[in-house]
Amino acid sequence: MPIELKMPALSPTMEEGTLARWLVKEGDAVKSGDLLAEIETDKATMEFEAVDEGTISKIVVAEGTDGVKVGAVIALIAGEGEDAAADEAPAAKADAPADGKAPAKAEASKAEAPKAEAPAKAAAAPAKPAAPATAEAATSGDRVKASPLARRLAAAQGIDLAGLSGSGPNGRVVKADLESAQPAAPKAEAPAAAPAPAEAAPAEQPAPKAPATSDIPHEASKLSNMRKTIARRLTESKQTVPHIYLTVDIRLDALLALRGQLNAALESRGVKLSVNDMLVKALAVALTEVPSCNVQFAGDQLLTFTRADISVAVSIPGGLITPVVVDAGAKSLSTIATEIRDLAGRAREGKLKPEEYAGGTASLSNMGMYGIKQFEAVINPPQGMIMAIGAGEQRPYIVDGALGVATVMSATGSFDHRAIDGADGAQLMQAFKRLVENPLGMLA
C-alpha cells in the first residue's frame, strides 16, 4: 500500500494552508528528512520534511493550491518494491479533501455505473444540457482535472476549463494555464441570466465581488493565510472578549539612564539593550507581583499562571507575529535582549518554530518607534491582557513638587474583564509604572 502524505498542521491555529511550491516531482526518491514542499500557513511559509522513505508516485495537490485542509492527502509515496502505477486507485480517493464536494459525486457516479450502465447513460443524457458547462465539468464522472484555485479563478473570469490543456501533474489545469486563456463573453453573463448552482460560486468567495461596482481605480489582492487568521482572531477577540482599558503616564528618565550604563558595561559582549527589552522585563516582574492579572479565562475555569511568558508583537511583511520570551521575569536583561533580537530576526524570515510563537501569558505591543503617543491594543486570545506602549517624549511634568520637563510615555493595558477586575488591572499598571520609574527594582 502506498504511504499517504497529508497536509501537516504546522502551527497551533492552522486549519488549512496553501501548498506554495513542491520541491520534489513524481518519480523522485526521498528519505526521512528530505524537504518535500513549501507550505504557507497562517503564520509563515514553512518547509515540509519527509518522514518515510520511498518514491513520489503521485502528486495529488498541485503547487499554488490554497485552502488545503489539514489532514488532506497531498501526495503518495510508493515503498520499496511497490508499483507506482498501482497507486492510481487510492489517489482518486485522496483527491476528496483537496477538491471539496465534487469528487464525492464523481465516486458516486462511478459506483452506480456497473449496476446498469446503459440505463444510467440514458437517464443522464437529458440532465446534461440543463446544467451550465462549468458545473458539468466540475461534477461529472469524467470531469476536467483542475486545482481548486484554478476552478475559482475560471468561474470568476468566465473561462471554460474544458477548452484548456493542463500543464500540472497528469494534465491537471493549474493557475498558470488560465493566464493565456480568453474568457468566454456569453458565459461571463450567464450567472446573471440564469440561476447558478452552488458550486459555480463557492460560499467563501462572495465578499470580494460585493464592492466590484465601484468606479474608483483599485487593485484586488488575495488575502494571505496570515491575514485571514489575523482578521478572524481579532474579530473573535473584539466580539467575545469584554475589553477594559487603563492608561498611566510613566517617567522614563531613570530607565534611560540605567540603560545607558548597562549598554556601556555590555558593549564588550556585543549586547545592546533597547527600551523595549527593559519594558518586557518590567511587565513580566509586574505580572509576578500581581498574579491576579497573569490569568486566562477558560470557560468555567480561571487559569492562574506561575510564570510570566511575554509575547512580543513583531511586525513582518504581510502581518504581525508574537514570538514568546519564556519566563521573562526570571531572565537577565541581556538574555532577554539577545532572545528578542534572535526571535524577531527569524520571525521576519518566516523561520520561527510553532512553539516559539505559541502560548504566552500576556503580550506587549510597542508603537513608540512610530511616534504614536497612545493607543489601545486588542487582546490576543486566549491571553488575559496586553500592554500598549506609546512614544517617550519631552512633556511638562511635576518633578519633586515643581513643574518641570521630563521624558514621559503613556502605557495602556487592555484587560479581559471576564477574568480581570478593574482594581486588579489598576494594581498591575501601578506596579508596571513603579518598576519603570525605579528600574533597579526589576533587577533585584
* Confidence label for 52 from pLDDT (cuts 50, 70 and 90): confident
Grade residue 117 by pLDDT with cuts at 50, 70 and 90: very low
183: cell is 474568457
- On whether the CB atoms of residues 58 and 87 are closer than 8 A, the answer is yes
How many Cα atoms within 13 Å fall on the side-chain side of residue 284?
26
- Asked if 176 contacts 62 with a C-beta cutoff of 8 angstroms, the reply is no
> CA nearest 423: which of 290, 309, 230, 322?
290
Q: Per residue in 142-161, pLDDT tens? A: 457 776 667 767 776 778 77
Q: Which amino acid is residue 88, in one-letter code?
A: E
Which pTM was predicted? 0.60
Return the CATH superfamily for domain 228-442: Chloramphenicol acetyltransferase-like domain (3.30.559.10)
- Given this model, what pLDDT does residue 294 score? 98
> What is the average per-residue pLDDT within 316-322?
85
Indicate the domain borders of the chain: 3-99, 103-222, 228-442
Lowest mean pLDDT among 173-187, 308-322, 327-341, 394-408: 173-187
Q: Which residues are catalytic?
A: 417
264-310 confidence digits (pLDDT tens): 999 999 999 999 999 999 999 999 999 999 999 998 999 999 999 99
**What pLDDT is stored for residue 211 in this prediction?**
54
Asked, colleague to colleague, whether 3-99 and 228-442 share their fold, the answer is no
What fold, for 3-99? OB fold (Dihydrolipoamide Acetyltransferase, E2P) (2.40.50)
- Asked if residue 12 has a cis previous peptide bond (ω within 30° of 0), the answer is no
Higher pLDDT pick, 236 / 128: 236
Of the two residues 211 and 374, the one the predictor is more confident about is 374
Cell of 191: 450567472
Residues 80-112: b if buried by 16+ CB within 10 A, e if exposed: eebebeebeebbeebbbbbbbebbeebeeeeee
Residue 301's pLDDT is what? Answer: 94
Distance CA 172, CA 147 (A): 7
